[in-house]
Structure 1
Amino acid sequence: MQQEKSKEDHSRLINITAKDLTAGNDPSRLINITAKDLTAGNRRLVEVPYTATLSHAMNTLVANSISSLPVAAPPGHWIGAGGSMIMESDKQTGAVRKHYIGILTMLDILAHIAGGEHNLSDPTDLDRKMGSQVSSIIGHCLEGLSLWTLNPSTTLLECMEVLAKGYIERWCQMLTQMDLLRFLRDHHFDDLKDVLSRSISDLRAVNESVYAVTASTSVSSAIKSMKAALLNAVPIVHAPDVAEEDHLQLINGRHRKVIGTFSATDIKACRLPELQAWLPLSALEFTEKVTVNERETVSCTEEATMEEAVEKVVTRGVHRVWVVNHQGMLKGVVSLTDIIRSIRAALS
């Protein structure tokens, strides 16, 4: 009897589709819902045209509380980022209406603002950069180079295969890694209980390669280093013993005390005048400025269960959890990609 119930639960899990994950329906009904039935409740795709300015795009990101945007252009004039040819057609005529040419991320914006020959003390320099068209910015970071779509009938496990690649976490027909993990947290499947009860170490979800910046690293240096390393966030660590040049670049964060997190999404809390004034600060000072209330670093130990890790990222709205020992020293990181990859592998 128990074996039959387990098989039934597993079948129900496998047959959940991408649209089910964004529809907000009770999982007990999902197996009876087809893709064509799922129209109500799906979120509108937020996008910007290729002619939009960086300032307009940033306002759109902030207004919708998102971290990246697909960029649309007329068909036939552009080669999509990474050679992609993702089009949207008119439902009535079938004629191609637009071509998605890439994704604009917060890291793209930060890298553009802080990069090049810039004068942080000149307000007109920031105004000039924020007036740039988004089409000239996309593709500077890895995430913007990869566009993927999912068919509405794609199963949950197939969604996990795609989202576990990591570099498409922000947009896949408005299905994000966070959508998937929030769904798994909110809907309790019997065949997931064993996986979620295992430690993140046991599931091999911990990435021990973790790069960091020091408390003295400037915002400009942090951004340039993150762009070069294709990182959207880094821990800020206590490192009084490092050489002067190490404050200008990423360092090995392992076995150092975590005192904060510098993330590209921090600029969502900034107005442009504030951003202009805060760019010369250290990364630690910047995070203290953009955070109204004191922000606790989201961390866990290697003994934490996968369920606890999922709960932390979903509840706190973060894309990674720093893994520390019982003395608070950094041992690694567990990202959304790591979580999805390890859960998917455990279900195989």
Structure 2
Amino acid sequence: MHDTYTQIVLPFKSSPELFEQYTNAYGGLRTGMLMEHLDSLAGSISYKHMLGPDVETLGRISERGFYIVTASVDRLDMLASLYPVRDIRLSGQVVYTGKSSMEVAVKMEALDLDGEEETLMLGRFSMVCRDARTHKARLVNPLVIQSPEEQALHSMGKNAQNRRRSLALQSLSRVPPSSEEAAELHQTFLNYGQDAPGLQSDRVWMGDTKLEKTMLMFPQERNIHQKVFGGYLMRLAHELGFANSCIFTRSHVSFLSLDNISFRKPVNIGSILRLESQILNTSYPGELPAAVHVRVQANVVDVKLGREETTNDFRFTFAKDNGRHGVSRIVPKTYREAMLWLEGKRALEMGRQIRGRLHLGQ
């Protein structure tokens, strides 16, 4: 396992020139660009696992006989603020392997001048290996465990894979909502879903929270497979989700978590890409931090046929910076919106649980 460990240091504090490339409008760092680097790092770590730690260049995919793609991102949780700006270390390693998949754990840490380190973000990428000729699943190298610490990481990776499978089986696209979820959804409809006097003060219809952008995909953002780099799509989605959350809350927001990403199909160079965002749910009134859960869906537009095909589905949670005031309730109108509302509710609840465990040091 330790052979796959990789790190890169971004000297923001000691290099004003580098910081200038990453600074946002508020004098901090662009989180989406750091996510883009984490995706690239996870890919490099996966190739390192397949090729060995001594190989420095990838070469041609056709000669290697395989390629690796990001299948999903389970979570990226922000544990501490990016402020003040410090040098940052991105690191990670393969912690679990299946037949053709790899779980890559990544970490973002701030480095102070006195040698102190602070963990800023933790996450997991699920990578899959494909045959370069047939594009079918290809076996990956097994992982050798050599210490109790590595065994703990291996167990974490295995649990993450099992949890992902369990959540897939419980998906609302497969099974109906639980009785508790159905009851809460019905109560929300009774309290806020009807056009009666006094019910409109703190509600927003889900359909009124949409924000989108349409872009051309240029070759400058291609990866080694000559497709649009997944980390670039992640950055675009994060920035649109951030903008939508700011508009919805009428406040600056901070990134709390990337709750899930699914990579369904690659995006070709030259494609017309439509990114659609929508607020799915919000935290309970009075709860701190006041959080919003937003979905960003990436669709490739087929100009000739006039159709769109979904390639990626991103889910983010942001916190309103002015936490003394809550956020409006999201209310669905259709059954499809109701299922999205419940998905957002599940994501917010899971985020609360994870942040609670992290706060307790578990």
Into which bin does the TM-score normalised by the smaller protein fall? under 0.3
- Which has the larger share of helix? 1
Task: State the structure with bigger RCO (CA 8 A, min sep 6), 1 or 2.
Answer: 1
- Which has the larger share of strand? 2
TM-score by length of 2: 0.24
TM-score by length of 1: 0.24
